[in-house]
Structure 1
Amino acid sequence: MASSSSILTSPKQKNSPSIDAVLGSDDLTTEILLRVPPKAVLGFKLVSKKWLSIISKTSFATRHTLLNPHTISALLLRVSFFFKELPTHKYVSLDVDGRSLAYFSHDFLDFDPTNNPGCICISQSCNGLLLCSKCRWHLPERFQPINYIFNPTTRQFAMLPPPPDDGQFFDSIQLVFDPSESSCYRVVCTQFFTSELKIYVFSSETKDWKLCVSQENFEYLPINFTDGVSWNDAVHWISPMGNGFSFLLDKECLETIPRPPLPENWQEQNFRYFGESGGHLYFIGVLEGNQSPDDLNKGIVSPAMSHDQIPDQSIVVYTMERGFSKWFVKYCLHVKAFVMAYPEITEDEDLAASPFSAEKGSVRLLSFIDGDNDERPLLVMEILGEIISYCFKDKTFKKILRLPFKHANCCAFNYSETLSFIG
């Protein structure tokens, strides 16, 4: 059977009446193209001028974004080595066909035609859009980065104007984009100096910054403003001890985050990850003992009982209820599962004694990926120079990528394809 592309492009092929009906109806063609994955849709621009016109419309991109679920299809890795000044970026597919890794082309982040000097790095990822920063290393103002919003699927980008600043404040920005709510994106800039907090919001609709919060004598928590997480039309910050606050964009105000039900012996070094996936907020840490979600939700913490070389520890995944009322434990993973899959962890006495140690542990959490129907809850980690994933559903490990060197600094960003328009 001839492929659909050959039927549509061959001038010698006589089309059937049904195909002619489809090709002659812009509405029907649009409805079909709206259900095609983003990258395939872009390839169909070459079929005809009519298809190019349909796909190029902003209204088409908006409808396509709303109709297609934003499933995380890949990880974007930013890898830095202590002897290299500039980081490298890698694209890691999460498809189940075994093709796990595809390297970025050398010019993947070279999207600015003005060729401003500097190196572009990925800072954040939010529902298919990337927040990228370019530092001008050789200029006097090198510490003032140029910030971009970039859609890797469509290669569209927009340069963000610098937020208002008198030079006294440390700036931290956070991308907020929820295509199920709006086709517009927003950027939240947090400025904190001594005890004064200011929060500005940039809207792609107004193309301007707006001062939303100006608060003196702000009670500063030991949190990192650069680690904000976008979820449920708000930006959230949390400390390793579970205390934090949120900036609600619709109300333009701050609210306190409920603290996860952490045990009394919880310490800062137990914290490992804070992020969003599948429409849920997650807080992940390490507890002593072989824990279970049901017991932890009842307030029962199992004591550590290990009497051998392998420590008695568990990775515990807390998730926030959508109503933002409380946290509950969703998953637990015991450290012995790692040792069974990666016995080399026990070869080093220090690592074997505490593989999840925040200072020198052999296991580093990079990301958590959850689906809408629990089909693919994945914990992504770096273990002894390898990027691996653990699936909570079938309790299996999968090797994703081996890094060239064991001692590398690796950051992971969840990524999904989108046709979302960047104005």
Structure 2
Amino acid sequence: MKATAFSSVDKSEDQESMAVVPVRSVRRRNVSDPSSEVLETTDLLQQILAKLPAKMVFGFTLVSRYWNEVIIDPKLVCHLKVPRNPTAVFVRRSVMHNDNVKFTHIPLEGVAGGGGARIRRSTVSLNLLENENFTNVPFVIGHSGNGLMICSSCEPRCYFLYNPTTKKRERIPELKTSVVISMHISFQASGRHKIVAVYSTSDKLQLHVLEPNKSIPHWRNTVVDFPVLGLDVVNYGYGVDIDGVIYWPCYKSSSLMLFNVREETLQWLPEVPQPYNKFSGITYFGECKGNLRMVVNSSMIGPTFDMLELKPDHSMWFIKYHIDLTPRVRRTNWLPILVLALLPGEDQEEDDSYLIIHILTEVVSYNFKDASMRKLCDLCFRPTEYLYLRSEPWNYVHSYLQNPTYPRLTAS
């Protein structure tokens, strides 16, 4: 009897447990994600991106249109740690006709860290007008600086500001003059840039500056007087921009022409003292860590040559490095050497710079710190190509670094 009583009690408890309990609907509260708020705050996002390596930030331009606009903002570019070392070098090959302008692209990423350079066997061309009325128009590189290039077409003549990192380009307004001698990019401390053009009209040289404008960019005449005339004296095709000052060398002397873009003043430095009795042309002319560097033909005797540096007060040139390639080559007579690029390194205090040079059929890197050399790749030039590369390097060798700055001609 007790067992039966217990079973009836258990049965009633089971029925109560099996009873349907009504489910009360609970309204879900929207909780904001802090990470999404961060990503939607432009100023905060730029502060975060400025702490990251520049190469990583470049890849974020593909995330969305908003991210692309944030990254190419000049405010971020000013604080972004853009790589100091050139990313690659474009070497223009010899051409017989304008429709055959080709370049050899030599990547330099990883060279400072001990890596090599794998070049494409086939040359490349710069076709910047694929979406316009005329296609397959060859382009040549006129000037390169801080990741941007000024490219010009052969026929018809037009100029573009081109970014090889983002593949973006913007057409430069036509400068209605007789002859455009050269165009240069000058970068300002604010992160913006201006374009400077040297042109001649009626046997007179003039300077125009392309000013950023909220509506339409326009050329403005600086009305500066050139202290030295004659295109056979100053090499206006070899301009180097350092902190808003453009330096132009001379063909057969150590004189310099300086144009301060901010102040719009032109200065002539006649015969800057240099350590050679004879000045016979320039093999390299560029910038390294804020200083002007130069390699002259007079120093290239056999497998040795010197790299000069200009003192900050422009008082004289002095020998910064004596480069000896004897461990690499045993020829003591004249040796064909081409300077392709200078990698300043990432360390401001310790000189960890590399020089990229072409010797015979090889591209090698030379470490200034320990004078070590390393082969990067094989590269052969025809005799005519070498003649052009050696006599006019400013027209045929152009290095560039990765920079996400969109080529802007208008103020944002």
Q: TM-score under structure 1 normalisation?
A: 0.72
1:137-156 maps to which residues of 2 (within 5 A)? Answer: 142=156, 145-156=157-168
The structure with the largest alpha-carbon Rg is 2
Q: How many residues align?
A: 353
Q: Deviations over 1:158-196 (max 9, x none)?
A: 11112231x3x4522112224xx1232211111236752
Distance 1:388 1:133 in 2: 30
CA drift at 1:367? 2.9
Q: Which residue is equivalent to 1:6?
A: none
- Structural RMSD (CA): 3.3
Given candidates 99, 103, 116, the residue that maps to 2:134 is: 116
Which residue of structure 2 aligns with residue 203 of structure 1? 211
Q: Contact conserved, 2:147 with 2:400, CA < 8 A, in 1?
A: yes
Letter in 2 for 1:184: R
Letter in 2 for 1:339: T
SS in 1 for 2:222: strand
Say yes or no: does 1:317 pair with 2:303.
no
Is 1:381 matched up with 2:357?
yes
282, 294, 316: which is aligned to 1:283?
A: 294
1:242: Cα distance to partner?
Answer: 0.3
Instruction: Say if 2:304 and 2:326, in contact at 8 Å, map to a contact too.
Output: no
Contact 1:109/1:120 (<8 A) preserved? yes
Pick the aligned partner of 1:354 from 334, 356, 361: 334
Query: Secondary structure at 1:62's aligned position in 2?
Result: helix
Q: CA deviation at 1:234?
A: 1.8
Amino acid at match of 2:406: F
Shift of 1:200: 0.9
Paired-residue identity, %? 21
Alignment partners' CA distance in 1, 2:205 and 2:265: 12
Matched, 1:340 2:340: no
Report the CA distance between 1:69 and its aligned residue.
3.8
What are the ranges of 5 or more consecutive residues in structure 1 without an aligned counterpart?
Answer: 1-19, 137-141, 290-310, 347-351, 356-361
Q: Select which of 33, 46, 51 maps to 2:49.
A: 33
Matched AA of 1:41: V
Kept in 1: contact 2:340–2:356 (CA 8 A): yes
| Amino acid in structure 1 at the alignment position of 2:222 | C
Alpha carbons 2:165, 2:402 under 8 Å: kept? yes
1:93 counterpart = 2:100: no
- Three-state SS of the structure 1 residue aligned to 2:223 is strand
Classify the secondary structure of the residue corresponding to 2:237: helix
Deviation (angstroms), 1:320? 2.3
Report the Cα distance in structure 2 between the residues aligned to 1:406 and 1:257, rounded to whole angstroms: 37
In the other structure, the counterpart of 1:163 is 175
181-190 or 318-327, larger mean C-alpha shift: 318-327
Give TM-score, length-normalised by structure 2: 0.74
Shift of 1:82: 5.4
Distance, in Å, in 1 between the alignment partners of 2:169 and 2:311 is 34
C-alpha distance in structure 2 between counterparts of 1:374 and 1:258, whole Å: 33
Aligned partners of 2:378, 2:264: CA distance in 1, in Å? 44
1:319 maps to a residue whose letter is: E
1:422 aligns with 2:396: no
The alignment status of 1:224 with 2:238, answered yes or no, reads no
Say if 1:92 and 1:203 are closer, same or farther in 2 by CA, change over 3 A.
same
Structure 1 window deviating more from structure 2 (382-391 vs 35-44): it is 35-44
- 2:402 is paired with a residue whose SS is coil
Q: What are the ranges of 5 or more consecutive residues in structure 2 without an aligned counterpart?
A: 1-32, 390-395
Q: 362, 369, 375: which is aligned to 2:343? A: 369
Aligned residue in 2 for 1:177: 187
